[in-house]
Amino acid sequence: MAEIDIKVPPVGESITEVTIGNWFKNDGDFVKMDEVICGLDSDKATFELTAEAEGVLHIKAQEGDTLNIGDLIATIDSSANGSAPKEAAAAPAAAPAQETPAESAPVKEEEKAPAPAPAASGKAYEMKVPAVGESITEVTIASWSKKDGDHVEVDEILCELESDKATFELPAEAAGTLRIVGKEGDTLAIGALICTIEAGASSGAAAPAAAATSPAAGSDKGSVEKHASPVAAKILAEKGIDVKDVNGSGSGGRIMKDDALKAGSKPAEAPKAAPAKPAAAPVVAGARAQRREKMSSLRKTIARRLVAVKNETAMLTTFNEVDMKPVMDVRSKFKDKFKEKHEVGLGFMSFFVKAVTVALKDFPGVNASIDGDEIVYNDFADVSVAVSTPRGLVVPVIRNAETLSFAAVEKEIVRLAIRARDGKLGLDEMSGGTFTITNGGTFGSMLSTPIINAPQSAILGMHNIVERAVVVDGQIVIRPIMYVALSYDHRIIDGKDSVSFLVRVKQLLEDPMRLLLDM
């Protein structure tokens, strides 16, 4: 028996060990040359291990095991490579026999004719996690809309993927039988294998036949898949809500996750569910009930990134206060004419965006970021504005904010806020910002220390406006005061620059004419 040893390969001069993330093949499976058999994790990256020969795989180390470079991870019995081709040859031979009974439906056969064509090659098409944004390095599988072994067509939705910024669907890039590699809840790096599609399997003929003989059942299933995303369908099922009773905001009326979250429970279903579940426990006086909910993939990703920012940056926060009376006076004087001319309201955010873009020119370090051992300075201001949605906090970007007028900024803020609320923001609209503004004041926050939106180096926090007694020209007066906070990465921004930047923003807001005159 000719066995080939598969050992942990060298993956970097400073990497001495790796951990087996997951096996894509099972012990005893037949593998082909260069086929991906498992994923390996190091402290710096995740990479795939491919088969060095064709034959039967014998696994020597299990998922989660940590191995040194050069350790044995598996063997391949290359003497057993004769069994697989025979089985592969049998499949095409059997395919025509199964197609013969379907000759009574010539139209169906003509439509299906292109699908079996690639079967002769017997190749499996590998589906990998696509690149979805310049700052996104991994995604989580939220749910599969197809099952392992199902027949899929080109562009048919296979699963729903979540990143820390958005949820998107993965369509099939080939027709054939689906073989799932990544499970629901798995977090995969960009480029990692997520599934394979075996072209020309016989299950493809069985699926259309079943749909033709049972039109009623097929139409019910089709309506769910057509009008509700997998995540939305799962949420609606848990709530006991019929898909037909929910309006979708997606393309073609498709029900998205946000639609399912907003949907209320059906009154008729509540009495049925109450006796079957322990939900009736709170009725008892003094009851101390608890409930557990699985953390969503998006929430887990956000949590991981926020902790990483806290651990990887020298974050510090400086504070100041702004007298908002001048800005409020300008708004009161011109808001009606402004809306009449520009068809959009004049809000506080546009004043802050414009003030920030002016201050960023004076203090370019606040608008910079660290890339390895280099500092990247930006001559433009792409201002990210935090927006709260039912799914969580998203941060769309106002591009080239320094070139926009007050009206253009307000229109862009409204446009992005509506798209965020409807769950229609694209990844290109949420990536690439150079500075972030977040407004906790809309929820009543008086003071906070916002966390930097990596890879940016600073974030400005707005808060609520409260009338306070202050001294102006030696007199105690009542003024609308807002506390502002600037969190910054001390590795790139010195304390002097951070304080001066915030003072500059304060000066511009307390004298809005400076913004209009570019002073």
Interval 57-81 mean pLDDT:
85
Residues 203 and 230 in one domain: no
Looking at the predicted structure, is the pLDDT value of residue 488 above 60? yes
Is residue 490 part of the annotated active site? The answer reads yes
Tell me how crowded residue 79 is: count the other CB atoms within 10 A of its CB: 11
Answer yes or no: is 365 within a domain: yes
Q: How far apart are the first and last CA of the chain?
A: 82
Answer yes or no: is 299 within a domain: no
CA-based nearest residue to 500, from 354, 327, 365, 370: 365
Residues 117 and 41 in one domain: no
Residues 444 and 352 in one domain: yes
Give the integer Cα–Cα distance in Å for 363 and 36. 49
Contact predicate 346/339, CB 8 Å: yes
Q: Would you report the helix, strand and coil content of the chain in percent, each value rounded to 5?
A: 40, 25, 35
Looking at the predicted structure, is the pLDDT value of residue 160 above 80? yes
Contact predicate 66/38, CB 8 Å: no
Residues 343 and 452 in one domain: yes
Answer yes or no: is 303 within a domain: no
pLDDT of amino acid 78: 81
Residues 435 and 414 in one domain: yes
Is residue 342 part of the annotated active site? The answer reads no
Answer yes or no: is 298 within a domain: no
pLDDT of amino acid 220: 42
Residue 244, C-beta contacts closer than 8 angstroms, at least 6 positions apart: 223
Residues 448 and 489 in one domain: yes
Q: Is 513 helix (H, G, I), strand (E, B) or coil?
A: helix
Longest dimension (CA), the chain: 98
Adjacent-strand bridge partners of 420: none
Residue with the bigger pLDDT between 156 and 44: it is 156
Question: pLDDT tier at 240 (50, 70, 90 boundaries)?
Answer: confident
pLDDT of amino acid 281: 52
Tokens 């004719």 found at: 113
Q: Which of 24, 48, 80 is the last residue of a domain?
A: 80
Percent pLDDT > 70 in the chain is 75
Type of residue found at 118: P
Residues 403 and 482 in one domain: yes
Q: Give the range of the structural domain holding residue 119, as residue numbers without chain letter.
A: 83-209
Domain of 245, CATH number, reads: 4.10.320.10
Residues 89 and 72 in one domain: no
Contact predicate 370/492, CB 8 Å: yes
Answer yes or no: is 368 within a domain: yes
DSSP per position, 484-501: EEEEEETTTS-HHHHHHH
Answer yes or no: is 297 within a domain: no
Answer yes or no: is 74 within a domain: yes
Residues 205 and 218 in one domain: no
Domain of 37, CATH number, reads: 2.40.50.100
Q: How many structural domains does the chain have?
A: 4
Lowest-confidence segment of 201-210, 226-235, 313-322, 414-423 by average pLDDT: 201-210
- Collect contacts of 378-382 with beta carbons under 8 A, ≥24 apart: 378/434, 380/434, 381/356, 381/357, 381/434, 381/435, 382/432, 382/433, 382/434, 382/435
Residues 392 and 328 in one domain: yes
Residue in 27, 490, 497, 511 annotated catalytic = 490
Answer yes or no: is 358 within a domain: yes
Condensed to tens digits (0 to 9), the pLDDT of residues 448-484 reads: 999 998 889 999 999 999 999 999 889 999 999 999 9
Question: pLDDT tier at 260 (50, 70, 90 boundaries)?
Answer: confident
Interval 480-500 mean pLDDT:
94
Type of residue found at 325: K
Looking at the predicted structure, is the pLDDT value of residue 352 above 50? yes
Please provide the size of the chain in residues.
Answer: 519
CA-based nearest residue to 496, from 382, 406, 362, 355: 362
Q: Which of 155, 177, 209 is the last residue of a domain?
A: 209
Question: pLDDT tier at 140 (50, 70, 90 boundaries)?
Answer: confident
Tokens 């809000």 found at: 347
Q: Which of 80, 103, 126 is the last residue of a domain?
A: 80
pLDDT of amino acid 14: 58
Question: Of 109-113, 313-317, 511-515, where does the model show the most confidence?
Answer: 313-317
Residues 337 and 432 in one domain: yes
Residue 356, C-beta contacts closer than 8 angstroms, at least 6 positions apart: 381, 383, 401, 435, 437, 460, 505
For 96-116, give one letter per residue: b (16+ CB within 10 A) or e. Answer: eeeeeeeeeeeeeeeebeebb
Tokens for 233, please give them: 């369908």
Domain of 513, CATH number, reads: 3.30.559.10
| Beta strands across the sheet bearing 55-59 | 3-7, 72-77, 55-59, 30-31
Residue in 34, 148, 220, 494 annotated catalytic = 494
Residues 413 and 480 in one domain: yes
